[in-house]
Structure 1
Amino acid sequence: MTVRIAGNDYRTLTPPELGAWTPSLRVSVVIPAYGGQDKLDLALAGLAGQTYPAGLTEVVVVDNGSEPPLRLPAIRPPDTRLIVCPVPGRAHARNAGLRAAGGDVVHWLDSDVVPDRRAVEAHMRWHHAAPYLVVTGRLRFTSADLPAPEAVAAAGDLAELFEPAEPHAWLVDLVERTGGLTDHRARAFSLHVGGATSVNAALLARAGPMDTDLVLGQDTEMGYRLAQAGAVFVPEPLARAFHLGPTMRMRDKAPIDRVSHAFVADRIPAYRWLRSHPNRHWKVPCLEVIVEAGRGRRPGYDEVRATVDAVLAGTVPDLAVTVIGPWDEIRGESRAPLADPDLDLALIRGHYAHEPRVRTARAPAGDAPYRLRLPAGWTPGEDGLAGLLDLAADGGYGLVSVLLAEGPGREVVTARLERTAAFARAAIVLRDGEDLDDAVEDTFGTLWADGHAYGFTPGPGTITGRRGAYRARIEAEAEAARLAKEVERLRGQAGRWREEAGRWRRSTVELRREVGTLRRELATLRRAHRRGLLSSMRRAIARRL
């Protein structure tokens, strides 16, 4: 039974201790080389003293057109071959070595890298634990004088010959800040470097050979395809090796990145920062939307068009649409086209014949990191696909099932957002009789989402498009300008009201003052009147007496 690893958490594996186990897998060490006979001699001398059994090791040296031609030195592993690849380029040389390799594991090794005597064993102990691993050793870069091959073959510890040396800084940083690649599995494939990486051969066959169209960045692009094939990436610090001198990237990082990024952006959707253009189309899209078309107009042209048009009008331009159908069974022109049972298929194919993001096929393309299986006739909201992708990426889910409708008979209509790497991994570890979705749940996790929350509706929706969006923006700007003028008018009116209120306040104060004065005068008059009246009464009484 194949062991299951969740995400990239290889820590659930228990590889055997070095020197305390019996290996059985055969390894093919593939060394592409162009010139540098003195360094190749040291690399082969390092391989000659490995603790991994020589009977399970073959070495394939690929001379990539060296002048003078390379030769095999006296100190080398017993099963070492030299082949020639006249086509220039390291990717061509690696592919030539791959075709010649017959091992269960392929171990890439650069011709200027000298492995420690336990390096191959440290790699191979992991491959005996699971059949879908990519293992990268720890490189150190030395500027020491080159020793004799005899000294390398006899050394118990290569540090005695090559230290002091510098670490592979960016690789060490990647491993340390991601918890050994277990915390940030989306970038784990970046660990694949050709100088000291081993790959299960069957996994490599599923991923395919090196991309010979790339000028630089072949190792990283291969790592990305291995991830899509279901790989788990393992950093192995005990697999030590010394790189003789700095790499080309260490010498000229900026120009190397400039060239590499120009090509890998088209092929690695995970490098989102290289895809900053809002409307570019790329060789490998981030998302493939799969819509099925049937014969007999079920689902037909109208349903398919509603779905495809809504997908193309959304805020995720980095996608492709595959319409699945029996396209090779369409009979072609008919004397009565309106009665042709294949009319809707012909309409679909004709309508999207010149749309570069839509293709008609029997099966999905399968190279995008995500696939959305969407029933024809259902349309996502403008931001619906972007929201689903964020949901899947943030949670690391292998499958997000989207509930679209649930009928009275409990029939359920769903869409499925599938992570390619998760389903590839699940296919590797699938048990007899087990549902593939259950294996995805074990390795990456699954989730249900409400389609309404992501704007999914049945039937054609309102598609704004770029012109509509532009018109809406112009209308919104005009409305904003109108409202701004209205705000200014109201502000002026409010100012006038404040002035009027101030005048009324002042008038009220003055009136209060006048009333107070009158009250005081009235009180004085009343007192005077009372005093005068009292005096008159007193005089009258006096007269009577």
Structure 2
Amino acid sequence: MSQDGTGVRVRGNDYRVLRPAEDFTPSLRVSVIVPAYDNQDKLDLALAALARQTYPAELTEVVVVDNGSAPPLRLPAVRPPGTRLITCDAPGRAAARNAGLAEAGGDVVHWLDSDVLLMPDAVEAHMRWHHAAPYLVVTGYIRFTGAAVPAELPDDLEEAFEPAEPHGWIVDLVERTDGLTDNPQRPFSLHVGGATSVAARLIEAAGPMDDDLVLGQDTEMGYRLAQAGAVFVPEPRARAYHLGPTMRMRDKASIDRVSHAFVADRIPSYRWLRSHPGRQWKVPYVTAVVDGTAGYESVRATVDALLAGTVADLSVVVTGPWESLERERRAPLTDPELDLVLVHGHYRHEGRVRLAEAAEADPAVPYVLRLPPGWSPGEDSLARLLDLCRDEGLGLVSVLLEESPHGVVAARLERTAAFARARVVARPGEDLDDVVDEVAGVTWVEGETYAFTTEPTAFTGRRSALRARAEAQAEIARLTKEVERLRGQVGKWRDEAGRWRKNTVELRRELSGLRRQLAAANRAQQGMRALLSITVKRALGKRPRT
């Protein structure tokens, strides 16, 4: 696939259709960004490992970001030729990565921690994928070693650092989703800062790392990359060794406690973190867009029905020329803009409604519903549409509301990530809905089947329905959390099994050494016996006969 987006198109996250060439001709530049804080010895090893990479040095730049080390870090003698050192005074790894990102000029950005040692062909394994498509996020496989930090880079990393533990949760995620291709709900979790590469145009679309977050910056950025149309690829041939455990491996419960408190506001796809039935979040799960110029009664019927529905994780954008409204009204009943004034006044203090000039939704919001004014969804209409879109992995659900000789009236539920992907790969003049159909899927449903109506709607009975759905969602959230807990327990068991395997390997090594020592002792004993026998025989041979 060429870098302009033409060629084979990935549907969902099934990157297997790309088939990157083994003998590709490198042409893309890669910027390796290495945030570092103290630990000069580990940084020296990481740069020495980068100097061994098989990907062309002339297409590689390395930006080391000293994040406030004392004493300041320095560049060692053994390093890639295109390496430079900058400083970042702002605390935190996200700020350091953003500082490196501002200096990067590559077509691909490769995040690398300063305590990760890449195998010689790791960068090349990443880049062969990026030469196949311009919208990929590729993550390598890191193994965690408890071996002592060597004084210099070993010739054979595997021999020096095995046995080592795998990145257990990544291996588990990849295995249970058929390599992330089986319509996973969260492939963006694969974006980890230790050894992940990203197409630079995706970062440009998604924005830099969120340095307001305390923890979870990698995952949050992975989510925004997914919203920008990314495809996530696990590459087992891109191998590396991490010197020591991660902070999360040392104290997972505490890390999750802090991380979940913040990422819940920013990652709507983590539904189990949003178990509260009615509160609002920084990034809503769905945004509805309604034309506010279609008359007060029509606009109010639609917006009020949306707000009364069972999906509380919602924002509504009402579009209109709000800035042009005059603030002083002397004759309200004869005002030609009265309906606009009424809509503006009715919703200006509603927290879930935003009055905007244009219908631009936040690109971080997973779903956008575009609904004609005057049409009211039923209490569960939006929830059912979201279920359909999510469960089928669709990019667009069109709702046929009315068909007449004058045309078709329809509502649209759009999945933001699918439309972002379509924009990346669309050819000039190509219909965007057709491209969405290729990369995700499109379907039509009947409005009547989903309880859309133009009849006046009463909201008196909706509170019980809202509570019932909220209780159901809370139960789903509880069960999801329990599943995550059990997965974590499985991960602990795997880690424990890994430690037992490690202990077994070490014990076998000790036994092997003891066997060698015992064999040497036996050989020495046999030699001593032979020597003693010869000595005795010689001694007896010299004795006088009697």
- The normalised TM-score by structure 1 is 0.82
Aligned equivalents of 1:353, 1:264: Cα separation in 2: 28
Residue aligning to 2:408: 412
Determine if contact 1:108/1:197 at 8 Å carries over to the other structure. yes
Matched, 1:88 2:91: yes
Aligned counterpart for 1:436 among listed residues 416, 429, 432:
432
Secondary structure class of the residue paired with 1:405 = strand
Does residue 446 of structure 1 match 2:442? yes
Aligned equivalent of 1:41: 44
Q: Which amino acid aligns with 2:319?
A: I
Residue 366 of structure 2 is matched in structure 1 by 369
Q: Write the distance in 1 (CA, Å) between the matches of 2:466 and 2:280.
A: 21
**Structure 2 residue 146 is matched with structure 1 residue 146:** no
Q: What displacement does 1:469 show?
A: 7.2
Q: What is the CA-CA distance between 1:445 and the residue it aligns to?
A: 0.3
Name the aligned partner's letter for residue 385 of structure 2.
L
CA contact (8 A) 2:393 2:440 kept: yes
Q: 2:320 aligns with which of 322, 325, 328?
A: 325
> How many angstroms does 1:405 deviate by?
1.1
Which residue does 1:8 correspond to in 2?
A: 13
Q: Which residue of 2 aligns with 1:290?
A: 289
Q: Which residue of 1 aligns with 2:260?
A: 261
Match of 1:199 in 2: 198
Instruction: Please list the CA deviations of residues 42-101 of structure 1 after superposition, one character each: whole Å capped at 9, or x if unmatched.
Output: 110110010000000000111111111111111111111111110101111111111011
Distance 1:423 1:303, change over 3 A: same
Q: 1:470 to 1:427 in 2, by over 3 A?
A: closer
Residues in 2 aligned to 1:343 and 1:213: alpha-carbon distance in whole angstroms: 42
Identity %, equivalent residues: 71
**Post-superposition offset of 1:333:** 2.1
Name the CA shift for 1:115/1:470 in 2 (closer, same or farther; >3 Å). Answer: closer
> SS at the partner of 2:306?
helix
Following superposition, the deviation at residue 2 of structure 1 comes to 4.7
Are residues 1:237 and 2:236 paired? yes
What SS class does the counterpart of residue 216 from structure 1 fall into?
Answer: coil
* Distance in 1 between residues matched to 2:463 and 2:417, nearest whole Å: 37
Contact 1:320 1:357 in 2 (8 A): yes
Residue type at the aligned position of 2:102: R
Q: Which amino acid aligns with 1:109?
A: L
- Offset of 1:340 from its aligned partner? 2.6
What are the within-5 Å matches in structure 2 for residues 242-391 of structure 1?
242-294=241-293, 299-361=294-356, 362-366=358-362, 367-391=364-388
User: Aligned equivalents of 1:147 and 1:101: distance in 2?
Assistant: 30
User: 1:65 pairs with 61, 68, 72, which one?
Assistant: 68
Residue of structure 1 equivalent to 2:395: 398
5+ residue gaps, structure 1: 473-545
Whether 1:186 and 2:179 are equivalent positions in the alignment is: no
Q: How far is 1:431 from its partner? A: 1.2
**Where does residue 472 of structure 2 map in the other structure?**
none
CA distance in 1, matches of 2:200, 2:119: 23
Partner of 1:452, secondary structure, is coil
1:224 aligns with 2:226: no
Deviations 1:339-393 (A, max 9, x none): 3332222221211111111001123232210000000110000011111100111
Distance change >3 Å, CA 14–CA 356, structure 1 → 2: same
Structural mapping, 1:471-482, within 5 Å: none
Which letter does structure 1 place at the counterpart of 2:414?
E
One-letter amino acid of the structure 2 residue matched with residue 226 of structure 1: L
Which runs of no fewer than 5 residues in structure 2 stay unpaired? 1-5, 469-546
SS in 1 for 2:185: helix
Corresponding residue of 1:130: 133
Query: TM-score, normalization: structure 2?
Result: 0.82
Deviations 1:492-531 (A, max 9, x none): xxxxxxxxxxxxxxxxxxxxxxxxxxxxxxxxxxxxxxxx
Between 1:217-226 and 1:336-345, the stretch displaced more is 336-345
Quote how far apart the aligned CAs of 1:467 are.
Answer: 6.6
Secondary structure class of the residue paired with 1:29: strand
Deviation, structure 1 residue 210: 0.5
Secondary structure (helix, strand or coil) at the match of 2:318 reads strand
Indicate if the aligned counterparts of 2:309 and 2:462 stay in contact, CA closer than 8 A: no
The residue type equivalent to 2:85 in the other structure is L
Instruction: Determine the C-alpha separation between the residues in 1 that align with 2:465 and 2:188.
Output: 39
- 1:325 shift after superposition: 1.6
The residue that corresponds to 1:516 in the other structure is none
Conserved? CA contact 2:310–2:465, under 8 Å: no
Q: How far has the Cα of 1:470 moved from its partner?
A: 10
Instruction: Give the superposition deviation at 1:410.
Output: 5.6
1:56 aligned onto 2:53: no
Residues 412-448 of structure 1: CA deviation (Å, up to 9, x unaligned)? 1100000000000000111121100000000000010
Counterpart contact for 1:303–1:459, Cα < 8 Å = no
2:492 corresponds to: none
Count of aligned positions: 461
Q: Structure 1 pair 400/59, CA: closer, same or farther in 2 (3 Å)? A: same
Query: What residue is the counterpart of 1:520 in the other structure?
Result: none
Return the match for 1:28 from 28, 31, 46: 31
SS of the equivalent of 2:341 reads: helix
Post-superposition shift, 1:250? 0.3
**Equivalent residue letter for 1:14:** R
Q: Is the 1:313–1:464 contact (alpha carbons within 8 Å) kept by the matching residues of 2?
A: no
CA distance, structure 2, for counterparts of residue 304 and residue 201 of structure 1: 41
One-letter amino acid matched to 1:83 = I
* Higher Cα Rg, which structure: 1
The Cα offsets for residues 141-185 of structure 1, whole Å up to 9 and x where unpaired, read as 001122233x34xx2x42122111100000000001000000133
Query: In the alignment, does 2:73 pair up with 1:77?
Result: no
Whole-Å separation in 2 of the counterparts to 1:373 and 1:470: 22
The residue type paired with residue 105 of structure 1 is V
